[in-house]
Each structure stands twice: as structure tokens, then as C-alpha cells.
């Protein structure tokens, strides 16, 4: 498939006025994206081990100065990779705004209480699905998966769905963050923040 002739023109406002604190800038962009995009809180999460780099989408569930939070099964590929390296990178792409937002940092496991609280807040059927799914393991058949789901639903109808012990929350610290705003003629604006040893952030404007 030849894609050479596909051309997208990017446009956007000047982003010079973004706040000095990257977390505030992150909040502004995420809030704006939630008004324009279909799935604004979804980001691509990259994790690795020495012989493998993996990337997949996850849903952001919290954003604070401490970092960005998501939930997953710790026995999945990403869970195993995070358990080995404790670092990750993420990227949001908000096409309607012609914006990309990247971040990198150390990853910490949230407390069991946090995992319990968020798990309990999810819709019943989502909890049942997490309960019966050994994420990232081979599936015998999707028919059997659906049967397991219906059986578990019946059994757990009037009971609290137990959180799978490895269903956990993770937080990625905002050590490096880059805001990319598309501009005409490929003269895009890139604002890069890096957290220094004293906890303050440096800001650098990068060439497109
Ligand atoms: C839009 C979108 C959002 C997703 N959100 C999550 C999520 O929050 N947590 C999760 O474990 N998987 C989520 N997934 C599924 C993952 O992309 C992935 O298939 C799964 O977590 C297994 O990844 P792994 O084998 O690399 O660990 C999402 C997928 C899509 C397309």
C-alpha cells in the first residue's frame, strides 16, 4: 500500500502561554481534548524489558502533580515488564486539536486500597469480565470466554465481585513531558519540560 500521497495539514494556536507547571498545562490540554475527542483519556503506553519493547492503549484514570494513573492486570505483558523495569512512556494523540502529549517516568504501584476503590466503582459486568480474564494469556475459544462470563455473572449476581489480586493501579511520574502542537508548513511547536534534581521543571522549546 503506497501512502506517499497522503498529506495532512496541521494547524494550531501558539502555545507560548502554557503554564510553567507541566501538570497544569497537562490538565488544560486534557480538559480541552475531553471536549473535542471521542476517547480523549486513552493513551499509548510503552513498556520494555531487555529484549522486548511493547506498546498498547490504556485509559488514564487520574492526573495529578504526582503523575498519571491507569489500571491493568499485573500478570499481563505490561504488568510483567513494569515489574521488571519500573519505567514507562506514554503518548496521547488528540487529532482534532492536532496535538500530541508525551511523558516518561518511573512507575509505582498504587495501594491495594486504591485498586479496591476503583475496582468497586466499575460497572458490574466490567468487574466480572476482569474477574474471569487472565489478560494476555491464550484463550481457548471466545465462546468459552462468554460462557465463563455468563456463569460468573450468575454466581456473582448478588455478591460483590472480588478484585483479581493482580488487578492493580500504576502511576507514571511526570519526569519528562512534551507538548506538541501542529502548525502550518510542518513548523510545529514543541515544549519540553524535564524535572530537575531539585524537583523544579526546566522548559525547552524544541525544533519541529
Ligand atoms: C482505547 C483502549 C483503551 C484500553 N484501556 C485499557 C486499560 O485501561 N487497561 C488495560 O489493561 N487494557 C486496556 N486496553 C487493552 C490494552 O490495549 C491491551 O490489549 C491489554 O491491556 C493487554 O496488553 P499487554 O498484553 O501488552 O499487557 C485498552 C485498549 C484500547 C484500544
Comparing CA positions, the residue from 181, 187, 177, 185 lying closest to residue 208 is 187
CA of 57 relative to ligand 1 center, distance in Å: 5
Compute the distance from residue 54 Cα to the ligand 1 centre, in Å. Answer: 12
pLDDT band for position 182 (cuts 50, 70, 90) = very high
Provide the 8-state DSSP code for 97.
G
Supply the CATH number for residue 186's domain. 2.30.110.10
Could you tell me if the CB of 58 is within 6 A of ligand 1?
Answer: yes
55 lines ligand 1 (CB under 6 A): no
Q: What is the pLDDT of residue 157?
A: 86
Does residue 40 belong to any structural domain of this protein? Answer: yes
Ligand 1 contact, 189 CB (< 6 A)? no
Whether 76 is in the pocket of ligand 1, judged by its Cβ within 6 Å, is yes
Residue 61 placed within a domain: yes
- Give which of 40, 15, 27, 195 is closest to 106, Cα–Cα: 195
Per-residue confidence (pLDDT) for residue 69, from 0 to 100 = 98
Give the H or E element holding residue 147.
Answer: helix 142-155
Q: Where in the sequence numbering do the catalytic residues fall?
A: 186
Examine the pLDDT at 158 and tell me if it is beyond 90: no
pLDDT band for position 21 (cuts 50, 70, 90): very high
Q: What is the pLDDT of residues 69-117, one digit of tens each?
A: 999 999 999 999 999 999 999 999 999 999 999 999 999 999 999 999 9
Ligand 1 atom 29 nearest Cα: 57
**Mean per-residue pLDDT for 9-38?**
96
Would 9 be classed as within a structural domain?
A: no
Q: Is residue 16 part of a domain?
A: no
Q: What pTM value is reported for the model?
A: 0.95
Q: How confident is the model at residue 160 (pLDDT cuts 50, 70, 90)?
A: confident
In this structure, is residue 154 part of a structural domain? no
Domain for residue 52, yes or no? yes
**pLDDT mean across residues, the chain:** 96
Give pLDDT tens digits for 127-141: 999 999 999 999 999
Nearest ligand 1 atom to alpha carbon 81: 27
Q: Is 126 near ligand 1, meaning CB less than 6 Å away?
A: no
- The shares of helix, strand and coil residues in the chain, as percent rounded to the nearest 5, are 30, 35, 35
206 CA to centre of ligand 1 in angstroms: 31
* Domain that residue 114 falls in: 22-119+165-206
Asked if residue 38 belongs to a domain, the reply is: yes
- Specify the residue with its C-alpha closest to ligand 1, atom 5: 58
The total number of structural domains that make up the chain: 1
3-state secondary structure of 158: coil
Q: Is residue 49 part of a domain?
A: yes
Amino acid at each position: 500500500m503506497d501512502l506517499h500521497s497522503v498529506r495532512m495539514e496541521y494547524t494550531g494556536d501558539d502555545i507560548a502561554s502554557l503554564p510553567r507547571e507541566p501538570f497544569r498545562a497537562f490538565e488544560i490540554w486534557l480538559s480541552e481534548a475531553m471536549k473535542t475527542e471521542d476517547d480523549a483519556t486513552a493513551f499509548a503506553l510503552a513498556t520494555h524489558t531487555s529484549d522486548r519493547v511493547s506498546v498498547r492503549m490504556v485509559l488514564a484514570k487520574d492526573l495529578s502533580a504526582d503523575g498519571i494513573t491507569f489500571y491493568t492486570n499485573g500478570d499481563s505483558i505490561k504488568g510483567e515488564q513494569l515489574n521488571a523495569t519500573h519505567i514507562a512512556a506514554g503518548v496521547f494523540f488528540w487529532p482534532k486539536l492536532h496535538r500530541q502529549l508525551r511523558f516518561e517516568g518511573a512507575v509505582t504501584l498504587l495501594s491495594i486500597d486504591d485498586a479496591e476503590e476503583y475496582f468497586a466503582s466499575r460497572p458490574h459486568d466490567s468487574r466480572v469480565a476482569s474477574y474471569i480474564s487472565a489478560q494476555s494469556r491464550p484463550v481457548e475459544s471466545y465462546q468459552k470466554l462468554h460462557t465463563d462470563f455468563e456463569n460468573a455473572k450468575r454466581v456473582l449476581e448478588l455478591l460483590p465481585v472480588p478484585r483479581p489480586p493482580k488487578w492493580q493501579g500504576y502511576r507514571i511520574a511526570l519526569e519528562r513531558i512534551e507538548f506538541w502542537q501542529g502548525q502550518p508548513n510542518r513548523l510545529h511547536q514543541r515544549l519540553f519540560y524535564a524535572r530537575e534534581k531539585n524537583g523544579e521543571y526546566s522548559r525547552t522549546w524544541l525544533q519541529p
